[in-house]
Structure formats: structure tokens, C-alpha cells
Structure 1
Amino acid sequence: MPYAARTRTAALLTSAVLAAGALTACGGEDGDVREQSLEWEDCPAPSDAQGGGASPTPLPRGGVWQCSTMRAPLDWADPDGASVGIELIRVRSSGPKNDRIGSLIFNFGGPGGSGVTTLPAFGKEYDTLRSRYDLVSFDPRGVGRSEPVECESASRMDALFQEDGTPDDAEERRVYEEGLRGFNEACQHNSGKILPHVRTTDAARDMNLLRELLGDDKLYYFGISYGTELGGVYAHLFPRTVGRAVFDAVVDPTQDPEQGSLGQAQGFQRALDNFAEDCAAKPQEECPIGTDAEDVKKRIAQLLDQLDERSLPGIFPRRLTETAATGGIAQALYSQDFWPYLTQALDEAYDGDGRTLMVLSDAMNGRSESGEYSSLVAANTAINCSDDRPRYSAADVQRALPRFREASPVFGDYMAWSLLSCTDWAVEGAADRPDVSAPGAPPILVIGNTGDPATPYEGARRMARALGPGVGVEITYRGEGHGAYDSGDQCVQNAVNGYLLQGKVPRSGTVCG
């Protein structure tokens, strides 16, 4: 299975490491969806498809979370036909009514991440923006409570993630390809009705409907990771209705899937190199996993080689395989705050205990402590395969492997073989690359993090250029982790807050950190 590497799973990861509902169905004829009114109520506890857990707790200064369901056309080409329910969440503005600008809509990435669970988890980090906005997010179609894509059972998902994601011979390739094929067939069998309608263009049109129903003439938007691609597609489709928008942890819109996967291999390797350098600079008792940076990386490579031959005990009855360990390492690189967990996990694995690396791997894959899986992996696959036209063969992977291995000795093989994820997908992909050109749109802040593993820094400049002259305003953050605003860097936050709250456009080329 491929990494769901464009989503923010920090809240899930933090709770998992420290601990070491009804679904909306497609309806019938619903008439004009623009005539509906949203009814806001107390939020229920998240469903398994949303990741589980407790109902969201209020923010400071009276920030009570409310939820609603918006009806959108299942097929935007047939707006008067069947509908799909889009689950929403909001917290009202904390400032005076006459200072309120409107609603600030968030998408936190994936594709496949639940905005209904993620926004409350990170609500305090964005609370400054609540002084002039209602903060709003949603589960995109196919995700969480919004007609989630359903594929395999939890037990079958466990089995799939135990399989070798870096096949070395013909028999391992056969097993790997059969696993992918079976997963894709299960998605078609269980969710065939929604699969043709989960493209990013569908989500962008849903977001435009949401803007209208919230009563805003313009879309005020904060997109993170894949949310930047969604924002770019929206700006292309509706440039005249873009208000103030921020793209953070930017997806490169100029790359096809192979180029994107190669870029991620390079990005994760760069982050691993930075982790190794940081660890090696610490006293030995704080970095017991290597004598210097090269030794840290050498021991990681040796661990993965050993796991390819023989797995370690993980979270009983599952075992830590090479694939699970690789995913766990990647997950920990999403934030510098998680680097100590990675050090701990590796130290334990060298002593024969794979549990913490498996906790990290579970967070990557959307597996809860109860053993249930969120819709993350299924929706991630469905949306990517519906968006991306290219379909790759095992021969294509074999041809690409040398370049992937050069880009990353640790992640290259896995990222290369993940190109087969869409090969047998039931729905044809829409395009080689998303169109984000947005002539006539106002300035959009585009923030790239030099140490970002999942959306490498180079993509921010390419997004800014692809949006068009006078639209993309590029900001560089010299830091680590996936994203910049939630790093706490005052320079980044001042630039974003100044634009969203006051309309002050920072100088393109601003460097922070």
C-alpha cells in the first residue's frame, strides 16, 4: 500500500504514542442544493471512518464546536440528481460581529484526512484567526462521514500491511500485485457508486457550494498539504470568487505521479538525513542509535535489511516487517517534535522490540488502538487514482528503481513500487497533472518548508508560478517537518495572520526561520 503521505496525522500519532455514527448515504432526487439551509448541532463522537475518539472539546474564549451536513450533487454533471452528504464542522468567531470577515475554510490534506476531526485537534493553533473568522472544515466526499470509501475489512487491512511492499523476486511481486488488485476490487465492490465522483474537481465544487451556503461572496481558505492542490484547483475553476487564501506545505502541481513519488523519496531522505545529523549532535545518552550521522543511517538501513528477512515482535499478534518499519520511520519525520519518538523506536527495535515503530506505522495508516481503520487509506487511494491518469506496470517500476534508489536508499524502493497502486483501479484517471492556473485571482500565499519530507520545498515555487503572475506570493520557511504555520515560527505566523486578518500582502520571496 502507498504512503498516505500528504495528510496530517499528528493528533492520531501523539495520542497513540503517549498511550503506547451513522454514515450519510447517497440519496434520490433532491432538487436545487443551493436552496438548502445548514442546521448546526452539537458534534457527535467521531465515527471509525473519521478515526474514532471523543467529541471535540471547546476552545478557549467560548469556542464551541458545531456540526452539520451539506447536501451536494453526487455527480456535478447532474446537479438535480442523487446527492451525497458532506459532513461539516465549525466554531464561531470570537471577535465583535462588526469585525467578522466571514468563514475560513480548512483542508488539512491527505487526500483522505477528516477535516471534522483534524480542525478541533489543531484548533488552538489557529485560534488567533478566529478573531475575525468562523473556522470551518469538512470531510471531503469519500472521507469520514461523507459517504466514505470502503474497501477491505480491518483484519484484511492488517494482513495487507504485513505484506512486503518492496518485492525482491517474482514470487514476492506476484503476492504484492495480487494484494493491490484485491484491495482495488474490494473498493469497487463496496463503494462503486461513489468512486467515479471523488476527484479533486468534485471536492472543489463542493467547497464552492459550501462558500455560498455559509453566506460568503468570496472563499477564505487555508489549505495544508494536499489541501494546497485542492485550493489550486478551486482557484482555477473559480478565480473570481477567491478571497484571501493560504497554501502551506505545498504539493507540486507540475509533476506526474512518478515524478511526485520520486520527489517524496528525496524529501523523506532529506528529512532522515537531517534527523541523523540532529541526533548525532546530541550526547550519547540522548542518541544511543549511532556514533555519528552516517552511522545512524547505516544502522537504520541494516535494520530494514534484517526485517526484510525476518520480522520482529510488534503489537501482538502483528509483527514488525520491513514495510511497517519504513512507514513508521516516515511518519516520525512529519514533525521534528516526533524525532525523539523515532530515536526511542529505533533503539527499542535494535533490542528486538518493534512495538513503538508499529505504533508510528499504524498512525501513518489510520489504524486506531481499537484495531479499526479510518477511511484514510481507502479515500487516499480512491482520490489519487481518480485524479491521476497514468497507470504503471511492474516493468515501469523496474525501469525507475535505480533513480528511486539513488534518491533514497531507505524510501526509494517503497515509493517506486507504490506506483502500482492505481494500475487496476476501476475508474479512469482525470489528468496527468492538476490545472491550477488562476488568472484573475487575488494574491495567494504559498509557503514552502525547506525540510518538508512529504511535500518537498521545491513544489512551493512551482505552485506559485503555476498559479500565474500576480497570484502566487512565495514565502520560504527554513525549518523541519510538514508545514510551516504550525511550527510556531513568528515570522510565518505574522505573514499569514497579517494577510488573512488585515489583508496585508507580504513581499514575495520573504524568508523565515
Structure 2
Amino acid sequence: MSRSVRWAAVVAAGLMLTGCGGGSPGGDGDQGNARPGQPASASAALPASLTSQKLDWSRCAGTSDSAAPGDEWRCATLRAPLDWAKPGGRTIGLALIRSKASGKPDKRIGSLLFNFGGPGASGVSTMPYFASTVSALRERYDLVSWDPRGVGASEGIRCRDDKAVQSAESVDATPDTAAEEKAYFQDAVDFGKGCRKAAGKLIAHVSTTDTARDMDLMRQVLGDTKLHYFGISYGTELGGVYAHLFPRQVGRLVLDAVVDPTADSVGHAKNQTRGFQRALDDYLTSTGPDPKQGSQKIVDLLKALDAKPLPTSSGRKLTQTLAVTGIVLPLYSKDSWPTLTSALRAAEEGDGGQLLALADQYDDRDSAGHYGATTQAQRVISCLDDRQRPTLAETRKLLPEFEKISPVFGDYLGWDTAGWCHDWPVAGQYDTPEVSAPGAAPILLVGNTGDPATPYEGARRMADELGRGVGVELTWKGEGHGAYGSGSDCVDATVNAYLVDGTVPKDGTVCS
């Protein structure tokens, strides 16, 4: 696939590692012939063949028994309908991973499901590494995650092989000429055709709404009367959609690094443009007195790379688009800012190796040239979700606004609005996700003022959309993507108290 610049809304830890009384089972879930976004009360009960299935928890393939002492992980496959409009029809397998609660059985609250974002991030791969971050929760909860439909071991979709992915790196994501525009859009067409061929019927059934329904089936099969959930980044959108579909099944839900549910695909691109420029300005302020001057130096570097890519010791070249990707990754975590300083300095001196290595880490490319499929799954899922399809003419009109928001990232994310889902083989489902959840239990939303991928403003907008008395906002004045486990004792203690004790903080609480 082309190196898309729609940067994943995925938990930063996952990126750096790879480069909560209610309804009975089968109750008022939104299945049957319900339309995407239809309220839960309108649907029929699921067949017992789904809700009564027994999961065979066994040793996870390709892993040891534990990622750390005491962390015993077991995997299983859940069967879910391919098409939720036909719950009695063909099923697909969803890969799950679990570590059982370590405390006394009578103190166990239930299962705590995790989604790490993307869309497209593998929960099966990420959960064991994230467990140490949520160690305070494991005594009371079974820690559970999964590969959503279309991802990883859950019939994951791979639209291109490694050779084709690397070949597409030469496609300019900010075309300057008619020939570059033609290549850019042709690459998008080819990618969509590859996805259609690889996925077959599945390509029309990997939406966020489909996955939210899968989550409620998991709740029932795991034996929980309420869903307890920790969603990060894109996982917050998924959590909001779940709450809308199943408000009476909402238990204790934490949404950290909150996606703005009021933004369509263009609005989301603008939000990310603003968020990454804000994070870059914060980084540049830490290294010098004038962030505008620092941004201009980066713009000059990128223009030079557009004309002449830099060599690296691997023999591959650092292109303009790969350089932007390499700059983006360290902005996900303040701890990585020194790495960005070193990589930029090396590039200015004529060596593109460090920025290329960062881009490869983001793209999940290993030293043998094998690429993970996370970004491919991200594109397939988001293009099924997003109805908006800006034309070339519309995008050209948008570019000045994007460039005004960010001289470094605006051009890339502006062009992305046209190229990401260009000529996609399946129509998108909605302009913005429906997340209103009247009657749901309080949901804790955690916003970080320095978040680049899901800017801080999204938390307040999610709270407003969830509805009065449902969305409860917690603010952290910090840097990086996400707040929990990022160094704030205040955030961690507040989230833990909510999940373990059910203590809901006052809306608007601030951790500095």
C-alpha cells in the first residue's frame, strides 16, 4: 500500500513495542436486522449457538506461557456472525487472549476488555505487554483483549505483500505534478482492488459497528452481565459506539485519548493536523526559543527530500513521505523526543537512516523487510466506516486551510482526505459515529492536553455526545498519546478507583 499519512490513533506503547447488574445473555443487544447505529432496544435475541458457545482456552500459539512471572496467558477463538444482519448465518473466528484475575474469586469483578486503537491494532499481541501498565487492575479483573474482525489472527486482511508495500513507498503522498497525482490515485485504486480480492465478503463486515456487536457477544460468552472496558485512542470511538448500541449493558468504561465523535473524515484529518503541529511546537519549544523557526527548518528539510531523497546505510532512501512518518512517531511519547532530535540532526547532516528507522518502526517493518498488516487493516476498517469521499477538486480547495493549520503536516493530511478511500470498493456507513447513550452508567473520559493523534478537545465533545450524566471528563496536563500509565499518579489513581471501586470523579477533574 502507499505510505498513507493518516496516522493511526493507536496506543503509543503498542507502536513503540512493534518498531465496567443488568441484562441477561442474549437480552437487548443490537443484532438481528438492525441497521448500523440502530438503538439496542430494537433488536432480537441471538441464537444460543452463539451465546452458549464454550471457549477453549489454551496456550497461545507462538508464545510462552507467560510474558512475565505470574502473567499466564491463554488464547481462544470466539465465533461471531460474518453479517450481523444474519446472526444465524456464516460465522468468522475472533482471536481472544486472557489472563485470569489473580485475587480471591469472591473479589473478582469480571472481565475487563481492552482495545488498543488503530483501528487495526492487535489486542492479542499487545495485551501481554500492556499488562504491567494495568497491574493494579489484574487482582479484580480477568484481563481480556482480542483481534477485531479483519485484524491479525481474526481473519486479518492483508491487501499487499511485502514487495508491493515497499514498492509503493516511492509514491509521493503530496503530489506536485499531474504525473504524481495520477500515480497517487492509481495506487489507491490498486490498493482497494487488492483488499477486495483478499477479503472477499469480509470487506463489507469489518466496521466499528460490527466490532461493537462482537464485544457484546464476548460479554455474554465470558459470563458478564455488564461490559467493563478500557478503550484507548480509536478504541474510544469503539467504546462510544458500543455505549450507544447497548446503553443498558454499560458497566465501567474508561475511554483514554478520546476521538472526537463529531468530526467527519475531513474534520478528523484537521484535528490530527492541529494535534501533531501542537505536539511538534511543544517539542520544539523544549529544544529552542522559537517553534515557528524550528518548524520552518523541518519544512525546508522536507522540501529538499522531495527533490532528492537521502541515502541510508541500508541502501533504501529516505523520501519526503517516509521522513514525515519518522517525525510523527516520536511525538506519540515525550520520552522519545531526544530520539527525534538525533534523527533530525542526522538528516540535516545528510544521513536519513535514523528517520527511516523511525518510519519503519511506525510501519511495523522488520529488518528482513517484512511489514505488519496493521495499517492495511486500519484503512479497510476506516473506509467502511467513513462515508465521506472528497474529490480531487474538493481537496485542492481544502489544502490552504490544512497548510495554515500546520506547515509541516497540513499538506500530507490534506491530500490524505482524497487518497485514503479513493474509489473504495464498498460504500462507507456514516459521516460521524453515533455515540449518544441515554441511560448508560457514567463513562470516564480521559483527555491529555498535549495529545497529538487524538487532540484534547475530543474528550469534551465525546462527553457532550454521550449525554448528560454519562460522559465524565478527566483532564491531564501532559504530553504524548494517552494519559493512563504515562507518569501521572493522579490519572492512574483516579482511573483505578473508578474501575476497582466504582468511584466516579467529578466531571472536569484536572490532573496536572
TM normalised by structure 2 equals: 0.91
| Cα separation, 2, equivalents of 1:415 and 1:246 | 29
**Match of 1:173, SS?**
helix
2 CA distance for matches of 1:464 and 1:12?
27
- 1:48 match: none
Instruction: Tell me what 1:10 maps to.
Output: 13
> Do structure 1's residue 59 and structure 2's residue 68 form an aligned pair?
yes
* Inter-partner Cα distance in structure 2 for 1:375 and 1:405: 30
Aligned-partner SS, 2:55: coil
Superposition deviation, residue 315 in structure 1: 6.0
Residue matched to 1:348: 346
Q: Secondary structure of the equivalent of 1:352?
A: coil
Structure 2 CA distance for aligned equivalents of residues 446 and 261 of structure 1: 21
Q: Offset at 1:161?
A: 2.4
Does structure 2 retain, via aligned residues, the 8 Å contact 1:59–1:123?
Answer: no
Find the counterpart in structure 1 of residue 503 from structure 2.
504
- 5+ residue gaps, structure 2, are 20-46
Aligned letter for 1:36?
Q
| 8 Å Cα contact 1:56/1:120 also seen in 2 | no
C-alpha distance in 1, partners of 2:222/2:351? 51
- Work out whether residues 95 and 124 of structure 2, in 8 Å CA contact, stay in contact via their aligned partners in 1: yes
Distance 1:399 1:505 in 2: 45
- Alpha carbons of 1:463 and 1:15: their partners in 2 closer, same or farther (altered >3 Å)? closer
TM-score normalized by the length of structure 1 = 0.91
> Quick one: which amino acid aligns to residue 67 of structure 2?
P
Counterpart of 2:363? 365
Secondary structure in 2 aligned to 1:244? Answer: strand
1:401 aligns with 2:409: no
Q: 1:251 aligns with which of 246, 249, 259?
A: 259
Q: CA deviation at 1:438?
A: 0.3
CA distance in 2, matches of 1:59, 1:504: 30
Tell me the distance in 2 between the aligned counterparts of 1:31 and 1:440: 27
Whole-Å separation in 2 of the counterparts to 1:394 and 1:430: 21
User: How big is the shift at 1:195?
Assistant: 0.4
User: For 1:254-403, what aligned pairs fall within 5 Å after superposition?
Assistant: 254-280=262-288, 292-314=290-312, 316-403=314-401
Once the two structures are superposed, the pairs formed by residues 428-507 of structure 1 within 5 Å of their partners are: 428-507=427-506
Q: Do the aligned partners of residues 243 and 229 (structure 1) sit closer, same or farther apart at CA in structure 2, a change above 3 Å counting?
A: same
Aligned to 2:53: 36
Aligned mates of 2:165, 2:189 — CA distance in 1: 13
Match of 1:227 among 223, 228, 235: 235
Q: Please give the per-residue CA displacement for 1:429-485, whole angstroms capped at 9, x wherever unaligned.
A: 001000000001000001111000000000100000000010000111100000000
State how far apart, in whole Å, the 2-side matches of 1:56 and 1:167 are: 49
1:418 maps to: 416
Alignment pair present for 1:71 and 2:79: yes
Q: Deviations over 1:229-283 (max 9, x none)?
A: 00000000000001001000000000110011011001000000000011227xx
Equivalent-residue separation in structure 1 for 2:132 and 2:223 (angstroms):
25
Q: Quick check: 6-15 or 382-391, which moved more?
A: 6-15
- Counterpart residue type for residue 459 of structure 2: A
Write the mapping of 1:67-106 to structure 2, written as runs, cut at 5 A.
67-106=75-114
What percentage of residue pairs aligned between the two structures are identical?
Answer: 51
* Number of aligned residue pairs: 481
- CA separation of 1:107/1:271 partners in 2, compared to 1, >3 Å: closer, same or farther? same
Contact 2:162 2:371 in 1 (8 A): yes
Q: Distance in 2 between matches of 1:228 and 1:41?
A: 29
CA distance change for structure 1 residues 434 and 345 in 2, over 3 Å: closer, same or farther? same
Equivalence for 2:37: none
One-letter identity of the residue aligned with 1:95: G
How far, CA to CA, are the matches of 2:403 and 2:308 in structure 1?
22
Kindly state the Cα deviation for residue 82 of structure 1 after the two structures are TM-superposed: 1.0
Judged with a 3 Å threshold, the aligned counterparts in structure 2 of structure 1 residues 166 and 443 are, in CA distance, closer, same or farther, namely: same
What is the alpha-carbon distance in structure 2 between the residues aligned to residue 182 and residue 58 of structure 1?
Answer: 39
Task: Pick one of 161, 175, 191 that aligns with 1:167.
Answer: 175
